[in-house]
Amino acid sequence: MRGVLYVSHGSRVPDAVNEAKAFIDLVKVQVDVALQETCFLELTSPDLSQGFQRLVDKGATEISVIPVLLLSAGHYFKDIPAEIERNQQKHPSVHVTYGEPLGVQPRLTEILKQRIEASGVTPKADAKVLIIGRGSYNPQTQIDVETIKSQLQEQTGFSDIETCYLAACKPSFEEALHNAVHSECSQIYIVPYIWFTGILDQQISKKVVEYGNAKEIILCKRLGNHKYLQDALKERVEETFEYVTQ
């Protein structure tokens, strides 16, 4: 019997956890599998081992482990595989298939375009766009975010788009925003490539407020529960089914 285990990041912020759970629940009802569980990598219960055990207790003999992650980084390459290995040692008869993060997709970049449009602020000719990534020590992260930047330029026509990060990578969001405020542009769109709310999301809002009326700064909404994200995660789940049956 097949089971699906969704692995989200986890957060100290209750709203972030609730937002992640609610999003995954939207996807669960679109996936034709009876046994589905949500777990978290850190800071939140249930953890991956607890989620795995729940599926086994319900009779799962094949488990698709689905990382609820936007891009490939340390959690995908190290943390989740290490947890999977520990659980496979406990349950060697259970076949596990490991899914992929959503990755870079034009339809997901399209969400950023929609978030800019949803701000209701008409772009000026000299507008600057700052795309904010979470950041990672894995070099693929910056490659992916630069690709997203290129896609957004093609989709919107904005000529002045920069990337920045909340952790691990340079330039930092604080540095990029400081430079943008002191540049010649008259308008700055801040576009977070972040799925759910949380500490990092709060830090962005706080930093924007600190600059007050120094320049016209438009903080766009995070990715959230957009239908394109639901579709993309559903596809990642179903890809693991195809792998198992080959």
Residue-averaged pLDDT of the chain:
95
CATH of 106-219, one of 3.90.600.10, 3.40.50.1400, 3.30.1330.10, 3.40.50.300: 3.40.50.1400
The DSSP line for 166-228 is: SSSSSSBHHHHHHHHHTSS-SEEEEEE--SS-SHHHHHHHHHHHHTTTSSEEEE----TT-HH
> Which residues touch 57 (CB under 8 Å, ≥6 apart)?
none
Could you state, in order of their start, the residue ranges of all structural domains in the chain? 2-102+226-245, 106-219
Structure tokens at 176: 């990029």
In whole angstroms, what is the distance from residue 153 CA to residue 146 CA? Answer: 11
At residue 148, the 3 state secondary structure works out as helix
Q: Which helix (H) or strand (E) holds 162?
A: strand 161-165
> How large is the average pLDDT for residues 41-59?
97
> How large is the average pLDDT for residues 214-226?
95
Give the percent of the chain with pLDDT over 90.
93
Q: What are the tens digits of pLDDT across the range 102-129?
A: 999 999 999 999 999 999 999 999 999 9
> How large is the average pLDDT for residues 62-86?
96
Q: What are the tens digits of pLDDT across the range 126-183?
A: 999 999 999 999 999 999 999 999 999 999 999 999 999 999 999 999 999 999 999 9
pLDDT-derived band of residue 242, with 50, 70 and 90 as boundaries? confident
For helices 139-156 and 106-118, what crossing angle results, to 10°?
60
pLDDT at position 213? 79
What is the CATH number that goes with domain 2-102+226-245?
Answer: 3.40.50.1400
